[in-house]
């Protein structure tokens, strides 16, 4: 039980036939997103990302929640299909069509990727949002554990 009710407006009538909306398993975090295309789209290695419609819009409307579009692990690892913006954030007040920024991360000269109509190419994960109170200070107060970061990015080394 999530405590969140989200209205979903189907924009592409093929989605229910492809099985939308569904999670891949009972414990899956991500809701499968389908490529709502009329024809296959070829993604050349390192070419600019293509915007692929997900075929629906949603209304979260709860400021304590947002949704995030993530790549599907196997497609990214095995085939090189990732998101052009790494993660797409869907704010609670956005109610327009969802789009998937699909990018072929394979090196130049590598294999092109073809996205087929109806193919599951990304996933939508709902997550809570916390908006902390930000206090501007000149220096940080001392802590018992001491401060980290004085050595810069990666200063704790490897291993």
Local confidence band at 146 (pLDDT 50, 70, 90 cut-offs) = low
What pLDDT digit, counting tens, does each position of 5-14 carry? 999 999 999 9
Top pLDDT among 2 and 9 is at: 9
Which of the 8 DSSP states describes residue 49? Answer: P
How many Cα atoms occupy the beta-carbon half-sphere of 149 within 13 Å?
3
pLDDT higher than 90, residue 148: no
**Rounded Cα gap, residues 97 and 55, in angstroms:** 7
| DSSP strands (E only) in the chain | 7-10, 31-34, 41-43, 50-59, 65-71, 81-83, 88-90, 97-104, 113-115, 120-128
Before 21, cis peptide (omega within 30)? yes
pLDDT higher than 50, residue 93: yes
Q: With CA atoms as reference, report the closest residue to 88 among 124, 36, 58, 118.
A: 124
Measured over the CA atoms of residue 110, residue 116, residue 119 and residue 124, the dihedral's sign is positive
Local confidence band at 151 (pLDDT 50, 70, 90 cut-offs) = low
Local confidence band at 142 (pLDDT 50, 70, 90 cut-offs) = confident
Contacts of 49 (CB under 8 A, 6+ apart): 43, 83, 84, 85, 101, 102, 103
Q: What's the confidence (pLDDT) of residue 1?
A: 46
Q: What's the confidence (pLDDT) of residue 54?
A: 98
Q: Which residue has the tokens 């001392």?
A: 142
Contacts of 153 (CB under 8 A, 6+ apart): none
In the chain, the largest separation of any two C-alpha atoms, in whole Å, equals 60
pLDDT higher than 90, residue 131: yes
Q: What's the confidence (pLDDT) of residue 141?
A: 86
pLDDT higher than 60, residue 112: yes
**Rounded Cα gap, residues 159 and 147, in angstroms:** 20
Q: Which residue has the tokens 């290695």?
A: 45
């Amino acid at each position: 039980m999530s405590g969140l009710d989200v209205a979903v407006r189907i924009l592409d009538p093929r989605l229910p036939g492809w099985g939308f909306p569904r999670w891949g398993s009972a414990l899956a975090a991500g809701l499968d997103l389908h490529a709502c295309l009329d024809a296959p789209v070829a993604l050349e290695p390192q070419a600019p990302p293509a915007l692929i419609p997900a075929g629906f819009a949603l209304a979260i409307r709860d400021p304590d929640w947002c949704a995030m579009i993530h790549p599907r692990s196997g497609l990214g690892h095995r085939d090189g299909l990732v998101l052009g913006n790494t993660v797409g954030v869907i704010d609670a007040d956005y109610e327009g069509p969802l789009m998937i920024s699909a990018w072929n991360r394979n090196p130049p000269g590598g294999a092109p990727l073809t996205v087929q109509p109806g193919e599951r190419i990304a996933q939508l994960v709902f997550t809570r949002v916390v908006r902390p109170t930000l206090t501007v200070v000149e220096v940080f107060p001392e802590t018992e554990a001491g401060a980290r970061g004085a050595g810069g990015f990666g200063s704790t080394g490897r291993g």
